[in-house]
Amino acid sequence: MKEKYITLLQKQIEKLDSKDFDLDSWKDSTTLVLDRIFGPDSEKIKKINEIHYDLSSWSLRDTLGTSAHFDACKKKGREILEVCITELETIGVPEKVEENKKPATDIIQAALEDELKISQYKELEKLIKESSRETVEQNIFNFLGKIGSENAMTILSKILSSFRETG
């Protein structure tokens, strides 16, 4: 898979030298490739999106001409993608956390909120926060015994079935 990703990135680098190069189209397609490899929140995508061609009057009056600024945009894009390739070659493909997965704490909290009365939920929160490490497990065990085995089993069933749904 790593080789395929590197090939995709190299193709994006080749597009920088195309005669009919369009910066916005290149950024869009590069963003899609980087999203697939590194995930949607990747800093690399943010850096690609920061590349822009300045059409202000000052840049147009620049003695180097507008092509110098355009070349600088291409250079920055090339360097970002080369770093991505180096990262893939050195470290490998990053492990991704799927977006639709809920954190375990959210799953547990939702199951507790569904099955406990507000007063019971607040009591449990208090037990967890105020108990020492040595006594928290025993206090939770006693609490679950107090709410009844059927409620405790329902909470556990909801938690475990949620893990199946999210991954």
What residue spans define the domains of the chain?
2-90, 104-166
Crossing angle between the packed helical segments 2-15 and 23-38, to the nearest 10 degrees = 170
> Would you state the pLDDT for residue 99?
47
pLDDT at position 68 is 72
Q: How far apart are CA 5 and CA 93, in angstroms?
A: 9
The number of angstroms, rounded, from the C-alpha of 136 to the middle of its chain's C-alpha atoms is 33
pLDDT given for residue 96 in this prediction? 64
Hey, what long-range contacts does 73-77 have (CB within 8 A, 24 or more apart)?
A: 73/23, 74/16, 74/21, 76/47, 76/51, 77/16, 77/26, 77/27, 77/30, 77/48, 77/51
Distance of CA 148 to the CA centre of its chain: 39
Give 46-104 pLDDT, tens digit per residue: 999 999 876 554 444 555 555 677 788 899 999 999 999 999 999 998 876 444 456 78
Instruction: Judge contact between 88 and 42, C-beta under 8 A.
Output: no
Mean pLDDT to the nearest integer, 119-145: 88
What pLDDT, on a 0 to 100 scale, did the predictor assign at position 66? 53
Tens digits of residue pLDDT in 11-37:
999 999 998 989 999 999 999 999 989
Q: What share of the chain is helix, strand, coil (3-state, %, to 5)?
A: 75, 0, 25
Tokens of 74: 């291409």
Structure tokens at 19: 């005669």
Full-model pTM: 0.54
Question: Confidence class of residue 130 from pLDDT cuts 50, 70 and 90?
Answer: confident
Query: How far is CA 126 from each of CA 85, 130, 132, 158, rounded to the nearest angstrom?
Result: 50, 6, 12, 22
Q: How far apart are the first and last CA of the chain?
A: 22
Alpha carbon of residue 107 to chain centroid: 19
How many Cβ atoms from other residues are within 10 Å of residue 133's Cβ? 6
